[in-house]
Structures are given as structure tokens and as C-alpha cells.
Amino acid sequence: ETGVTQTPRHLVMGMTNKKSLKCEQHLGHNAMYWYKQSAKKPLELMFVYSLEERVENNSVPSRFSPECPNSSHLFLHLHTLQPEDSALYLCASSQDLGGVADTQYFGPGTRLTVL
Amino acid sequence: DQQVKQNSPSLSVQEGRISILNCDYTNSMFDYFLWYKKYPAEGPTFLISISSIKDKNEDGRFTVFLNKSAKHLSLHIVPSQPGDSAVYFCAASARGIQGAQKLVFGQGTRLTINP
């Protein structure tokens, strides 16, 4: 595997379920990100991790809980979601936190549907 | 309040001609601008970027122009090729509270190159 991978690619869950999204990067990067893209809306930054430490939480509801056990893996734990949380969830990584030129590399995303 | 706007949701261009994608922003604190390209079922991939201290950056068929006084940037693709058909996202970079690079994205423009 190369680049940034995400599993699962598609997920359908009920509002009372608990599920997790997984992201793995094979680029040796130190920073990882979660983004959300709802229909007809721009990508929105949710969380930023650097060296396994959360450095940014963009006012995301607590029903989304990120976890970064090491610099290669990032999880997004989901519980008691709402139908409006249905969206494409994208993971990204960058070498560091940003140097302005620190390009972010994206995974293919998980298409989440909450029933 | 959307800080980065791509006002054209779609654009259709003849193969071999020039494609011009536009982006406007409102926050004068943005110091770096990027264009990402997205194919269906894939994550966005970095295309080209420009620092706020420059007004032009060229990479092969792709050129990005920045007009800071107008808070406007554009991506020129010439000549356009069928493989350029994709959704193009404009993004602007700002610093978060802890120094993390935060990308703010536009809604995207779907470019279709007709043979």
C-alpha cells in the first residue's frame, strides 16, 4: 500500500450504532487531518494531529471522537450520529504542521450514510 | 460565512483550448493558496500552489495567478486535455491557534474537457 488509505470506503449506520473510520498513511508524515465534505459544501477541517497530539479541534460535536495511536494511524470514532452527519470523510497527512508549503495528501475517503 | 468561493460549479471546455478556473477569497490573512484536483472515488490530489508574495506560478500546462488586491486567484490549463476532466478545488492556507496549517476550501468547480 502506498499513500494514504482509508477503510471502510462505504459505511451505513443507524443513529444508535458505534463505528470507527480508519486512516493509515505510508508516507512517513508527522501530521494527520480529518475533513468532512457534505453535499454541495466545501471540505471542512475537523481535527489536526501532530506527532499523535491533537492540535486543532474545529468545533466538532463530541459524537465524533478522534484517536491517533501513532503517527501512521488515525481513527474517527462515531457514536449516536445524526442523519445530517452523512457525508464524505477524508483523511489527509502532511510532512509536518506546516510549513506553508507543506502539501497535504488525501486518502480516498469514507462515504458515510446515517439512517 | 464562506472565506473561499468558487462561483462556477461547472465549466466545459474544448480539448486543446484554455481552461480558466476562478477563485475568490475574503480573508487577507491567507498566506498560501493551492489547487487540488479530484477524480470520482479518489481523494483530492495536490496540483499547484502559490505563495502570497508572488503573483504567478507555472508548472507545465498549469499556471496559477494571484491578484491580492482583488483577492482573486485563477488556474489556467493550456492546452486542456480529456484527462483534465475532474473537480478542481481552490484552497487557502491560514495558521490555526497552535500554528497548524489550516486549509480552507472552496466548493469546487467541475471541469469537463470535450473532445
> A10 at the B interface (CB within 8 A)?
no
C-alpha cell of residue A105: 495528501
The closest CB to that of B32, out of A45, A100, A109, belongs to A100
- A1 pLDDT above the threshold of 80: no
Neighbouring residues of B5: CB distance < 8 A, sequence distance ≥ 6 = B23, B24, B25, B26, B106, B107
> A42 at the B interface (CB within 8 A)?
yes
Least confident of A19-23, A98-102, A106-110, B91-95: A98-102
Q: Which of A65, A48, A54 is nearest to B102 (CA)?
A: A48
**What residues in chain B have per-residue pLDDT under 50?**
none
Residues in chain A: 115
pLDDT of the residue at A6 = 97
- A100 pLDDT above the threshold of 80: no
**Measured between CA atoms, how close is B17 to chain A, in angstroms?**
28
pLDDT of the residue at A24 = 97
C-alpha cell of residue B23: 477563485
State the pLDDT confidence band at A114, using cuts at 50, 70 and 90.
Answer: very high
**Nearest chain A alpha carbon to B42:** A108
Which residues does chain B have within 8 Å of residue A60's beta carbon, measured at their own beta carbons?
Answer: none
**Measured between CA atoms, how close is A53 to chain B, in angstroms?**
11
Please judge whether B46 and A103 are an interchain contact, meaning their C-beta atoms are less than 8 angstroms apart: yes
Please judge whether A48 and B100 are an interchain contact, meaning their C-beta atoms are less than 8 angstroms apart: yes
> B39 at the A interface (CB within 8 A)?
no
pLDDT of the residue at A96 = 78
| Mean pLDDT calculated for residue range A79-99 | 89
**Nearest chain A alpha carbon to B5:** A42
**Measured between CA atoms, how close is B21 to chain A, in angstroms?**
16
| Mean pLDDT calculated for residue range A93-108 | 79
Contact A94, A4 (CB under 8 A): no
pLDDT digits (tens, 9 = 90+) for A5-64: 999 999 999 988 899 999 999 999 999 999 999 987 899 999 999 887 887 777 899 999
| Mean pLDDT calculated for residue range A74-80 | 95
| Mean pLDDT calculated for residue range A78-92 | 95
> A41 at the B interface (CB within 8 A)?
yes
pLDDT digits (tens, 9 = 90+) for B67-94: 999 999 999 999 999 999 999 999 998 7
For residues A53 and A71, the model is more confident at A71
